[in-house]
Amino acid sequence: MALLLIDQGNSNTKIQVRSLSGEILQATQSIVNFEQNQFLQSNKPPISHIALASVAKAEAKQWLKESLTKQLGSEVLLVEAETETELSMPNTKILNSYRDPSQMGIDRWLAVVAGVTRYPNRGIVIVDSGSAVNIELVNSNAQHLGGYIIPGFTAMIQTLYNGTGQVKVDRQPDSYSVEPGDKTLDCVNNGIAGAIVGLITDSISRLTAQSLAEDIQVVMAGGDSAKLAPLISSPTEIVPDLVLDGLFQWFNVKCI
């Protein structure tokens, strides 16, 4: 018996097959063609449960849900953000800041589930830098204090490229700097890196002030985390599969 976990983002869909005890048996970054998908056809042990966390457009989510049921013959459990979620550790539940949790992207909530599971009783700032960058502030009582959503690096570059006559930067550097630039390329790249790093740094300061904690842990996921992490002065851990880890924790508590 195995569990299929899916994180459908706005650009990529990450997938893992795990045993019911959490061991990762298979992992892949994308599924394009279900009918020919070796990944889903070669599964041993057979998949008994499917959990889907999606922030994609309604049609893409529906297509994925239907394709999975057709291909694998199991119902798909569609996971959604909620007011509070019990964790596997005793007496720990995470509390949502959203008045209407149905408006919160499930990837954000699962990142909080995974972050608190990794760092219970600790103030955490979670940064997921993908198509969008979202930042979550969580205090040491597992209360989500709110967060931020800004365009990702690529989206910011594209906005300048499309919206101006002369700011035609079309590539990102291999590493980020926040030094003031002396040519267009550096002004744009360092400016965008500075905007993201500045918001992360401000989030750390806010959480420190609000929760009277000094040892804030930063947890990062998403395509830009390796480039952003060196610019953050607080302890930082990169957890590439943070959302899938959270999805497993969620399933483990609710369904196993």
Ligand X SMILES: Nc1ncnc2c1ncn2[C@@H]1O[C@H](COP(=O)(O)OP(=O)(O)OP(=O)(O)O)[C@@H](O)[C@H]1O
Ligand Y SMILES: CC(C)(CO)[C@@H](O)C(=O)NCCC(=O)O
- What does the alpha-carbon distance between residue 236 and residue 139 come to, in Å, rounded to a whole number? 16
Active site residue 107: yes
Q: Is 224 among the residues that bind ligand X (CB under 6 A)?
A: yes
**Candidate residues 2, 51, 72, 104; the one interacting with ligand Y per rule CB under 6 A:** 104
Q: Is 55 among the residues that bind ligand Y (CB under 6 A)?
A: yes
Residue ranges binding K ion (CB under 5 A): 128, 130, 132, 134
Q: Is 29 among the residues that bind ligand Y (CB under 6 A)?
A: no
Q: At 100, list the tokens.
A: 């209407």
- What does the alpha-carbon distance between residue 185 and residue 8 come to, in Å, rounded to a whole number? 32
Q: Is 224 among the residues that bind ligand Y (CB under 6 A)?
A: no
Q: At 12, list the tokens.
A: 């990529």
Angular region, 78: left φ>0, alpha ψ -120 to 50, beta rest = beta
CB-nearer residue toward K ion: 120 or 223: 223
The CA-CA-CA angle for residues 140, 228, 208, to 5°, reads 25
CB burial string 153-178: b at 16+ within 10 A, e below: beebbeebeeeeeeeebeebeeebbb
At a CB cut-off of 8 Å and minimum separation 6, what does 193 contact? 153, 176, 177, 178, 227, 228, 231
CB-nearer residue toward ligand Y: 40 or 127: 127
Q: Is 132 among the residues that bind ligand Y (CB under 6 A)?
A: yes
Q: Is 103 among the residues that bind ligand Y (CB under 6 A)?
A: yes
Q: Which of 100, 107, 174, 224 is catalytic?
A: 107
Considering the complex, what minimum distance in angstroms separates the CB of residue 130 from K ion?
4
Q: Is 197 among the residues that bind ligand Y (CB under 6 A)?
A: no
Binding site for ligand X (CB under 6 A): 9-12, 107, 130-132, 152-154, 222-224
Q: Where does this chain bind ligand Y (CB under 6 A)?
A: 9-10, 55, 103-105, 107-108, 132, 134, 149
